[in-house]
Structure 1
Amino acid sequence: MTSRRLPGGGVSTTVFRPSGGTPAGVGGKRNEVPDELCPICKRSKYLNPDMEFQINPECYHPMCSNCVVNIFKSGPTQCPHAGCNKTLRQRGFRTPWYKDLEVEREVDIRKRVNAVFNMVQDDFETLRDWNDYLQNVEDLTFNLIQGDEAERAKAETELAAYEKKHREEIELNKKKGKEAEQLRKKRDADAAEASRLRRLEERDEELRAKAEEAKIGDEVMEALARGEPGTAAEIQARIVARKKAQVAKISGSHYASLLDGGGLSIRGLKAKGRKPYDDDEDDEDESKPYDPFGGLRAEPARYVLHDSYEFPHLDDARHNDNHRVPGYSVHEFYARAMFEAFAGLGVNIGDEKANDLRALGTAGAEAAAQSNETLETAMKAAGSNGSSNRMQVDDVFG
């Protein structure tokens, strides 16, 4: 232990450690921010509640803010901790985020490394290249954090060389990262604003519902005072039904006015009736569960598939592992053979030809009927234009 006079007039008492470079705390704790006493001036936080401990990333030795001002206000000075030869400046001190200074140092190193190695997965052709890049960065970071003096020096050299060689790429990636961060913040802000508006809308809807409920209650009380027949619940039900009818009427007339009076004309719309594919016989029962196959069944209707059949050629396939292990299934062979055997039994070629001829004749008759109706209509129109039986047409050249 030794004491020395500080530039500000105080006396500093430090403890020399043989290893050096590791801050000594109070009570034998190492690499931690002190809880009560400053290791330099021995001021107590109990007597100085506003005392704040600070560190410098050059050596991570903690000291109170008063010591920082008294020692380093006149310029760069050697760290007052015993065994530390680092030259520190007052502007380099800051309040640590973590009590464990080893964690604080690791976080700072990782920030510095990530600021240099700031590539993303889209910059690499394959996933293997991306994983190799991450592994190299982690190895370099580990040497900076946990390596000895030689490993740390080598890692620092590699980091500086890479930063010097890829300076333009690093700056470009920083710019992309800032743009992505701004986009993310904007997206988060938009989501927060949408959530806020949704909450306001829900609150307004709730207030409107409460106001409407109070209004209905007042109308019920007025109806009871007028002596209307029925209980309060019946009167309330009538009032609610009347309001719903008014809302439906107003909504319908407003929509019709938008279509008719607003100058909007839409031609070619189908009549608002049943859909062309709706059929009374095929109405779907909504009470039944939904069937994605529309009533079709995959079970065979013309035969029953058994588990085994007498077929000597398949004896080896049933019992030999050379057939069963690769995945050959005798049951699948049975199912396919039976399906192919019964697949064409439901087809009657004669009936299908007759149906085709009947459909062709029906289509021809319908076309002829339509042509006759068209001719008769044209002749009637020509007769109504004058006494002559000739059809009047426009002269495109006259």
Structure 2
Amino acid sequence: MSSKNGIARRDEDEVCPVCKSSRYLNPNMQFLINPECYHKMCESCVDRIFSSGPSNCPVAGCRKTLRKNRFRKQTFEDIGVEREVDIRRRVMQVLNRREEEFDSKRAYDDFLEQREEIIANLVGRIDVAKTEAQLQQYATDNMQSIRTNQALEAQEASSFQARMTQEQEEARLRRQAAREEYENERREMQAGREDFLSRLAAGTAADATSIAREGHKVLLKKSSARRSEEDRIRQKQAALRGTETTKRTGGPLTTADIAGAAPSADTGLVKGLRKIKTPEPEKPYDPFMGLVPEKRDYYSLQSFYPSSYLEPIRKDTRMLAGGYDLREYYSRTLFEAFAGLGCFVGEEVAQRDATSAAGISKPAATEGAAMAAVGNAAVNENTA
């Protein structure tokens, strides 16, 4: 009974619900589905109904508006699996956050769980309108990050494909080299055997041992040279693979690199995202590292100072003829006058006296004076 039901169900699936054509009568008939409603119909019905423009689904009870360019062949035998795969692909194209965008592994796991709940709601038709609105709002607010992650995924896929192609090419070259090596070795062994037999045939019985020993030495030399060449080729291939790996991993693109300096914050749907700090604009080059030559903390240098002592010098051509500039005198004098403003002698003396009273250490000058006094007293005693 179950087999009959299975056969009937399969025959029913092979019949177009619109024109009632059967694959039994038309083996070349192709069935198409539309992801809007996933109702299957034959290709001729699709061309006849939707060639002039969008139209409602001809299946009874379905009011979805379908377009011809959305029809495609069915990939999976079960329509439910086909629909779930499409929903999962669509949701993951929008919610395509990466692990490095989150503050912790727990936050990323929560995001994955939330994404699976959204997929389950859409597959099970639970709060479809609310879920679709949340997805649409998230896609609108995070269009830049979505495109960034899509570019990263495309780059990773292309690099993986290139790596697989390279490995397949290397495997093909290794097989070809192994075949060539086998053929060369076989030809060498055949030539050596023929040469050995010809020398034995031309020589005497006493020369057989020496001929065999020489042939054995030749084979050993050839095998040693072949192993050395194989090791050299392996080392060269390993070095090339290491160089290519370094090139691939030397500058990997990240979300922040492609997205630029766009700060990332928690959206209304995804939580726990890491905030990307906006880099400060590069400042212009300063050869003095912020030091202004004529700028001082306690005074500002003027171009003229009235002084009865400086008036004759200012007017004396003999002083100015050699390139003497009074501004250098002003700068040096003011610097020397204000040089001690950062030194608080009173506080240093008080701290020194407090340290001496506590008996922690004596000042160097006091110790030197005490040693000098002891030395003078000893000299006086010896003189007396």
In which range does the TM-score fall when normalised by the shorter chain? Answer: 0.5 to 0.7
- Paired amino acid for 1:153: A
Q: How far is 1:166 from its partner?
A: 0.7
1:147–1:47 CA distance, 2 compared to 1 (3 A): closer
Any gaps of 5 or more consecutive residues in structure 1? 1-24, 252-398
Q: 1:66 aligns with which of 32, 37, 44?
A: 44
Q: Deviations over 1:10-48 (max 9, x none)?
A: xxxxxxxxxxxxxxx99774xx89653222212222332
Q: 1:214 aligns with which of 171, 179, 190?
A: 190
1:241–1:74 CA distance, 2 compared to 1 (3 A): same
**Aligned runs of 1:143-158 on 2, under 5 Å?**
143-148=121-126, 151-158=127-134
Q: How far is 1:118 from its partner?
A: 0.7
1:182–1:226 CA distance, 2 compared to 1 (3 A): same
Q: Distance in 2 between matches of 1:215 and 1:66?
A: 70
In the alignment, what sits opposite 2:176? 200
In the alignment, what sits opposite 1:119? 97
**Aligned runs of 1:355-374 on 2, under 5 Å?**
none
Q: Distance in 2 between matches of 1:43 and 1:160?
A: 40
**Aligned runs of 1:182-193 on 2, under 5 Å?**
182-193=158-169
**Aligned runs of 1:237-386 on 2, under 5 Å?**
238-244=214-220
In the alignment, what sits opposite 2:77? 99
Q: 1:79 aligns with which of 57, 61, 64?
A: 57
Q: Distance in 1 between matches of 2:11 and 2:113?
A: 32
- Paired amino acid for 1:159: L
- Paired amino acid for 1:76: P
Q: How far is 1:244 from its partner?
A: 3.6
Q: Deviations over 1:158-208 (max 9, x none)?
A: 111111111111011111111111221222222222222222221111111
The higher-RCO structure (CA 8 Å, 6+ apart) is 2
- Paired amino acid for 2:147: E
1:174–1:227 CA distance, 2 compared to 1 (3 A): same
Q: Distance in 2 between matches of 1:213 and 1:230?
A: 24
Q: Distance in 1 between matches of 2:147 and 2:134?
A: 18
In the alignment, what sits opposite 2:68? 90
Q: Deviations over 1:51-72 (max 9, x none)?
A: 1110000100001111111121
TM-score of the superposed pair, with normalisation by structure 2:
0.53
1:40–1:229 CA distance, 2 compared to 1 (3 A): farther
User: Does 2:140 match 1:164?
Assistant: yes
Q: Secondary structure at the match of 1:54?
A: strand
- Paired amino acid for 1:213: M
How many pairs were matched up? 223
Any gaps of 5 or more consecutive residues in structure 2? 228-384
The percent of aligned pairs where both chains have the same amino acid is: 36
